[in-house]
Structure 1
Amino acid sequence: MERQFDQRTEWGLLLLRVVAGIAFVMHGMSKFQMGLDQVAGWFGSMGIPGFFAYVVAFLELLGGIGLILGIGTRILAALLAVVMAVATIKVKIAMGFLGGESGPGYELDLLLFFILLLFVLSGPSFYSLDRLLFQPRSSK
């Protein structure tokens, strides 16, 4: 079932998708700048196999670009939501919602998770490559 087009909602989804995409591109780039071997060691110290550092870095970078463009939005949002859920549970939940002296809390992670969930449920927006390339044009 196709949702009704409402220009304000579609512009809002576009803006939210682009900003979330930028956030993930920056997170991915920071992992590359740190050095993926170092990130893999950090993942290992938390009990997460180190090769996931490479998977997460590439997923954040390429997934963020995909979100910005609005291509593969539902799939990328679902994969990134899993990353956010694991990050929240394995790293941030112990720090509390707002965090403290030990570091930031999980409020941003939770917000990003639910933004991603929105795109899993709704799709990208009318203004996306997904819509341009893969949805049939109406004859109205």
Structure 2
Amino acid sequence: MTDLRTAPYAAFVLRLALGILFLAHAGLKIFVFTPSGTAGFFGSLGLPGWLAYVTILWELLGAAALILGVWPRIAALVLIPILLGAIFTVHAPAGFFFTNANGGWEFPALWIVGLVVLVLTGDGAYALKPTPAGIDKR
């Protein structure tokens, strides 16, 4: 049975963790790989280079929405394609385990599960703007 007293705080902790992870990955693309380097990597995968800039922005906006609690269920849902893209373009050929060379798809898949759990659980405590009416039916 779900403990309704603590569940909003669990969703809050999950929301923060997921937001910080997206913030870290956007930071990696900005400060370590650089945006142009990330665009070059995307190009080496056969993707358009401009998609790297969209991905960085998408991760930054999604991270902010999750951390601040601005429509977090929607933010979690729209971040899933980023991870699916990472799985199918980079990590799937490396196998399952993330410790494999080039990282397997284990970690991005777990990350997707966390996003789905947040979508299903709700905004959590301390959300600045809850999900619009019609989506959050309790």
* TM-score, scaled relative to structure 1: 0.83
Q: What residue is the counterpart of 1:36 in the other structure?
A: 35
Q: What residue is the counterpart of 2:24 in the other structure?
A: 26
Give the counterpart letter for 1:27 in structure 2: H
Query: In structure 1, how many angstroms separate the alpha carbons of the residues matched to 2:34 and 2:96?
Result: 28
Instruction: State the percentage of identical aligned residues.
Output: 33
Which has the bigger relative contact order, CA under 8 A and spacing at least 6?
A: 2
Q: What residue is the counterpart of 1:12 in the other structure?
A: 10
Compute the RMSD of aligned alpha carbons. 2.1
Q: What residue is the counterpart of 2:57 in the other structure?
A: 58
Q: What residue is the counterpart of 1:91 in the other structure?
A: 90
Is this contact kept in 2: 1:5–1:126, CA < 8 A? no
Give the counterpart letter for 1:128 in structure 2: A
Q: Which has the higher helix share?
A: 1
* TM-score, scaled relative to structure 2: 0.84
Is this contact kept in 1: 2:94–2:101, CA < 8 A? yes
| CA 1:67–1:36: 2 relative to 1, 3 Å | same
Secondary structure in structure 2 of the residue aligned to 1:97:
coil
Give 1:21 shift. 0.4
Is this contact kept in 2: 1:26–1:61, CA < 8 A? no
Is this contact kept in 2: 1:59–1:80, CA < 8 A? yes
1:75 and 2:74 aligned: yes
When the two structures are aligned, how many residues end up with a matched partner? 131
Worse-superposed segment, 42-51 or 91-100: 91-100
- Segments of 5+ residues of structure 1 without an aligned counterpart are 136-140
Give 1:7 shift. 2.0
Give 1:17 shift. 0.7
